[in-house]
Amino acid sequence: MATGITFRNAKIEVSVDGGTTWVNISGQTNSLEVGGGDREIGTFFDAANDTPTLGAGKRNALELQTRVKYTETDSEAQGVLASAYENATEILYRYSPKGGASGDRLYTSDAGYVQSHPYPGQEVESGDPLRLEFTIMVGKLTKSVVA
């Protein structure tokens, strides 16, 4: 029996130069949730039938909700994502759930934008490291394998 794949060794990268260089943000990323992307489905009811005729429409944008550790290093996740947000810079996102070894599955986005950027803040009594959640909107993810 095969064991389950977890996200504990995921490799997560972003690019703000069209994919020429990729910044590995795995060491500062705590979670990734993929949402949105629902396909519009149209319906048409006619008088002769009790059920609708369906039509497939376009897919909505995907939302990549990414939680990262707050740092004050511009080349790490928070700095790169904050800069992309503040400057409306196109961003590419890719991740490999198993860790990015040759043959592992890889999901790569088309160009998108950082939609939301919460600035740092939390309860003062907490000893938890600061964390931020960014929402990155992309049109699609393309599935491939790591070369």
The conformational region for residue 42 under phi > 0 = left, psi -120 to 50 = alpha, else beta, is: beta
Q: Compute φ and ψ for 111, nearest 5 degrees.
A: -65, 135
Q: Write down the pLDDT at residue 134.
A: 96
What is the separation, in whole angstroms, between the first and last Cα of the chain?
27
DSSP label at residue 79: H
- pTM for this structure? 0.90
pLDDT tens digit string along 102-129? Answer: 999 999 999 999 999 889 999 999 899 9
d(CA 68, CA 75): 13
Q: Is the separation of the CB atoms in 95 and 107 below 8 Å? A: yes
For Cα atoms 74, 77, 79, give the angle at the middle one, nearest 5 degrees.
Answer: 30
pLDDT tens digit string along 62-72? Answer: 999 999 999 99
Q: Compute φ and ψ for 46, nearest 5 degrees.
A: -115, 165
Spatial CA neighbour of 64 closest among 105, 21, 99, 107: 107
pLDDT tens digit string along 6-17? Answer: 999 999 999 999
For the chain, the C-alpha Rg in angstroms (whole number) is 19
Q: Write down the pLDDT at residue 118.
A: 80
Highest CATH level, class, for 11-145? mainly beta
Helices (H) and strands (E) in the chain, counts: 1, 11
